Amino acid sequence: MAQPAKGPAAAEGPCSTPPEKAGTPADTADGDSTAACHPVDEKLHFSRLVPAALQHIAAMYAGVVTPPLIIGQAVGLDTAAQTRLIAASLLIAGLATILQTLGVKGFVGNRLPFVNAASSAGIAPILAIAENSAKGHQLPAIYGAVMVAGVFCLAVGPFFGRLLRFFPPLVTGVVITLIGVTLMPVPVTWAQGGDKEAADFGDMRFLALAGFTLVVILLFQRFGRGFLKQVALLMGLFIGTLAAIPFGLADFSSLKSAPVAALPTPFASGAPEFQPAAILSLCIVMLVLMTESSAGMLALGEICERKTDGKTITRGLRTDGIATLVGPVFGGFPTSAFAQNVGVVSLTRVRSRYVVAVAGGALIVLGAFPVLGAVVNTVPMPVLGGAGIVLFGSIAVSGIRTLSEAGLDDSSNIILVAVSLGCGIIPLAAPTFYADFPAWAQTVLGSGISAGALVAVSLNLFFHHLGTRGSTTAAALKSS
């Protein structure tokens, strides 16, 4: 009997009774033997579907709400506006994830168990845009740049395979490391209370609460098993918030004012503004996000035993582009793959895309009920600080892991990484270093991620492409 293919055409539709092994016939309910159901297209029973979806929500939730939390505070949003921003981020993540997993065959969606949401990679460049924009024009400038980045992704996506050789693990490893390193001041500020102008900023009560939250996360990570270990971050946030109540450090007033159900208002912060320097900065970040998405799709293809070809990657990137373009209309930010959910698929071996689609549906529900987003706003700043150290530190570790597989035994590669990291850390080590530069240069170079990425790409061209035979796309993607 012919074996089913592992490629995208392996299954014409969903199936509810998977075979024990891919490539073997499965019996239908009436006893007839039919073609095998690929695990990616498997429809699980409710008793397995819901717990599996909850694991994905637990893995992604903290990452989804982090960008609106940080950016909202940076631009001075009040509690109500912050709640709306979190709700919008959840809603866009849910819609993008459903579009990615279910898709429109042949046009959009990679039809893999792939999670899409606002990426932390865009936070630092967005903060740089906010710092260089007039008050009241910060979010419009950010959203204008994000929308153009979405158009850029849609335009470049079909040809991106040819560009991947310019973004090998050396480059992406530098960028991911810089994301974690440059964001680390954020949780440190949170741990001290969040408001640098407050008289009690840095109070020992705040530091103790942040330390307690960090210890809780470490204990769940060390002694937790299965689901509890996977939700260690959320358990830290929950227990840390409970611990803050007796000391009067938890504020639940936002729950009273938040509407129970509401949909985001289009352009609630004003019409988008298009600033060239801001656009350039986010287009650079979008290239990095597209590289991460492509690598994530290739990794999922291996895990799910379903070949990920160029067309699949193009459809997946098209989803990223649509979500990034449409997201700012309602309050979203640059959208990309969530690597932690690729890890969930690898760990659990539950490869059904319908599990992730259900998780996406749950995110839509969370986004449509702002009161649920307001719950996140009740978490005290020091608690967020303790958890943020783990969250952003883990991003830096992912970058280091990527660099460790990128051939650092070669002296040219060592110099490339050293100079790129050094240039990327300048804005962190000396915040006023670019103060006398033109505004456009401050926006691009003021973000360590953008500066580091530009230097890494340039040095990669200098050392490995100019006057040499370029590496192939497959080699560029290997270990990325």
Max intra-chain CA distance, the chain: 77
Residue pair 174/424 in contact (Cβ under 8 Å)? The answer is: yes
**How far apart are the two ends of the chain, measured CA to CA in Å?**
37
Residue 140 has pLDDT above 70, yes or no: yes
**Integer Cα distance of 208 and 189 in angstroms:** 14
Q: How far apart are CA 272 and CA 473, in angstroms?
A: 36
pLDDT of residue 11 exceeding 70: no
Which tokens in the block code for residue 6?
Answer: 């592992």
Confidence of residue 207 (pLDDT cuts 50, 70, 90): very high
Q: 335-337 and 116-118: which strand pairing? A: antiparallel
How much is the pLDDT for 477? 43
- For residue 478, the model assigns a pLDDT of 44
Mean pLDDT rounded to a whole number for the chain: 80
Report strand pairing: 26-27 vs 33-34.
antiparallel
What is the predicted pLDDT for the residue at 451?
Answer: 83
What pLDDT sits at residue 150?
95
How much is the pLDDT for 347?
A: 61
Q: What is the pLDDT of residues 217-228, one digit of tens each?
A: 999 988 888 767
Q: Encode pLDDT of 212-253 as tens digits.
A: 999 999 999 888 887 677 678 778 888 998 999 988 888 777
Q: Residue with structure tokens 């168990």?
A: 113
What secondary structure does DSSP assign to 198-246, as a single string? Answer: STTTT-HHHHHHHHHHHHHHHHHHHH--THHHHTHHHHHHHHHHHHHGG
The larger pLDDT score, comparing residue 389 to residue 302, is at 389
CB burial of 358-394 (b: ≥16 within 10 Å; e: otherwise) equals bbbebbbebbbbbbbbbbbbbbbbbbbbbbbbbbbee
- 387 within 8 A of 461, measured Cβ to Cβ: no
- pLDDT exceeds cutoff 90 at 417: yes
Can you read off the two tokens belonging to residue 375? 């719950």
- Residue of 103, 115, 474, 150 whose CA lies nearest to 312: 103
**158 DSSP assignment:** G
In this structure, the number of other CB atoms found within 10 A of the CB of residue 74 comes to 17
Q: Which two tokens stand for residue 115?
A: 């999670």
Q: What percent of the chain has pLDDT over 90?
A: 20
Three-state secondary-structure class, residue 59? helix
Q: Which residue in 326, 304, 367 sits closest to 110, CA to CA?
A: 304
Q: How far apart are CA 301 and CA 307, in angstroms?
A: 5
Cα dihedral across residues 87, 90, 96, 97: positive or negative: negative
pLDDT for residue 353 is more than 70: yes
pTM for the model: 0.70
Distance CA 188, CA 193 (A): 9
Q: Could you give the count of Cα atoms lying within 13 Å of 345 in the half-sphere of its Cβ?
A: 27
* Residues 110/100, Cβ–Cβ less than 8 Å: yes
Of the two residues 191 and 33, the one the predictor is more confident about is 191
Q: From 187, 237, 176, select the one nearest 70 (Cα to Cα).
A: 187
Map tokens 């597989």 to a residue.
405
For CA atoms 97, 102, 108, 109, the dihedral sign is positive
Asked if 29 and 16 count as a contact pair (C-beta separation under 8 A), the reply is no
Which range among 202-206, 419-423, 469-473 shows the weakest confidence by mean pLDDT?
469-473
Of 143, 129, 190, whose CA–CA distance to 447 is shortest?
Answer: 129
Per-position DSSP letters for 74-107, written without gaps between them:
HTT--HHHHHHHHHHHHHHHHHHHHHHHH-BTTT
